Structure 1
Amino acid sequence: MKKPKKINIQKLFNALDYEMRQKLSSKIDEIYHPSAKGSEAELNWIGLLRNYLPERYSVDSGFVVDHEGNISEQIDVIIYDRHFTPFIFRGENIVYIPAEGVYAVFEVKPELNKANYDYAVKKLNSVKHLKRTSASFVHILGKDKKELFDVMGGILTKENGSQSVYEGLKSGSELSLVLCLDCGIKVVGKESILVQDKEPILAFFLLKLIEYLRMLGSVPALEVDKYLSFVDKEKV
């Protein structure tokens, strides 16, 4: 029997990593105003994730809200479900996403340091404190409810601004995914996986993120009636 042809998988990952880095850094170094550069970085990350994540996941920046009207802090990158989330509130350049539909939130910063890390944890907690519902759904065996999972949080950075934060991440992290492109650190929750800069770190990040999202499964079906309680029924 003839042996199948082989291809170098490492080279494929390296090519994917290079392609993503090119898209991520498009013209950002030509921007001098810090806030404009920050906004460009967020848009680049959002574009990158929209490009490479499976189509079932949507990506935006904005706020997360619950059925009681509570709201998170503004989040740089939100990965959420569009298929099972019946409505997304969109204002002028602002998106409000029901808490039930959110898989993960990320903070985008130029460097990894303690202040930025703590800020990302604060943003994540502002989402985790929101109240989520889980409506029953019908399937072939009857009715069921999806158990609520922990919303995943992370920080996306380019440079390492603190050796102490680098060392501290080795023993675990409050954030599920911590990425520092230039210093080659990739820490995955309490697993403490470190990926050195010689490896295709961006491709590794993407694949690990997809794996985490897959493990979460589908989002819970939100209880629409809880949100409808805010509607003035006399005007409907």
Structure 2
Amino acid sequence: MGLEEESITMIRAAPHRDDGHYREASLREFLKQHLPSRFLVTSGFVTDHDREQDNQVDRSWRQIDCLAHDKQDFTPLLRADEFSIVRPESVAAIIEVKSSLE
């Protein structure tokens, strides 16, 4: 068994409290390698900034596992490491990662 296969076997066999976080990070890394460079892939939130200014904030925000957004034409409202808050018009794709389909 090669090193890569052995590593995968060990990762799958180990009890992880944060399996979901690992899967999300793995998918984000895959997308970063395959999407055009204009896109940034992070976790985060999408918000309508104008709506916030009108005091009509949607308080039911949910953090998005994989958020691909256009960094070339739109500046994120907030960016910290692997986390972003962006406007809807910058979003190219939203992906929610699930460990099982039940």
Mark yes or no: TM-score above 0.5. Answer: yes
Partner of 1:57: 39
The 2-side partners of 1:76 and 1:48 are apart by 13
Match of 1:106 among 91, 95, 101: 95
Query: How far apart are residue 94 of structure 1 and its match?
Result: 3.7
Which protein has the larger Cα radius of gyration, Structure 1 or Structure 2? 1
In structure 2, do the counterparts of structure 1 residues 61 and 111 end up closer, same or farther at CA, with 3 Å as the change threshold? same
In structure 2, do the counterparts of structure 1 residues 93 and 111 end up closer, same or farther at CA, with 3 Å as the change threshold? same
Partner of 1:125: none
Q: Which has the higher strand share?
A: 2
Query: How far apart are residue 110 of structure 1 and its match?
Result: 1.2
Partner of 2:65: 76
The 1-side partners of 2:75 and 2:31 are apart by 22
Query: How far apart are residue 40 of structure 1 and its match?
Result: 0.5
In structure 2, do the counterparts of structure 1 residues 76 and 28 end up closer, same or farther at CA, with 3 Å as the change threshold? farther
In structure 2, do the counterparts of structure 1 residues 107 and 92 end up closer, same or farther at CA, with 3 Å as the change threshold? same
In structure 2, do the counterparts of structure 1 residues 91 and 79 end up closer, same or farther at CA, with 3 Å as the change threshold? closer
Q: Is the 8 A contact 2:78 2:86 kept in 1?
A: yes
Query: CA offsets per residue over residues 211-234 of structure 1, 9 Å max, x none?
Result: xxxxxxxxxxxxxxxxxxxxxxxx
Report sequence identity in percent: 30
- 3-state DSSP class of the match of 1:108? coil
Please, which runs of 5 or more residues in structure 2 have no aligned partner?
none
Partner of 2:16: 33
Q: Could you state the TM-score of these two structures normalised by the residue count of structure 1?
A: 0.34
The 2-side partners of 1:100 and 1:76 are apart by 18
In structure 2, do the counterparts of structure 1 residues 97 and 109 end up closer, same or farther at CA, with 3 Å as the change threshold? same
Between 1 and 2, higher relative CO (CA 8 Å, sep ≥ 6) is seen in 2
- 3-state DSSP class of the match of 2:96? strand
Letter of the aligned partner of 2:84 in structure 1? V
Q: How many equivalent pairs are there?
A: 89
In structure 2, do the counterparts of structure 1 residues 85 and 108 end up closer, same or farther at CA, with 3 Å as the change threshold? same
Letter of the aligned partner of 1:63 in structure 2? F
Q: How does 1:183-222 map to 2 (within 5 A)?
A: none
Please, which runs of 5 or more residues in structure 1 have no aligned partner?
1-21, 114-236
RMSD over aligned Cα, in angstroms?
Answer: 2.5
- Do structure 1's residue 97 and structure 2's residue 86 form an aligned pair? yes
Q: Could you state the TM-score of these two structures normalised by the residue count of structure 2?
A: 0.71
- Do structure 1's residue 46 and structure 2's residue 28 form an aligned pair? yes
- 3-state DSSP class of the match of 2:68? strand
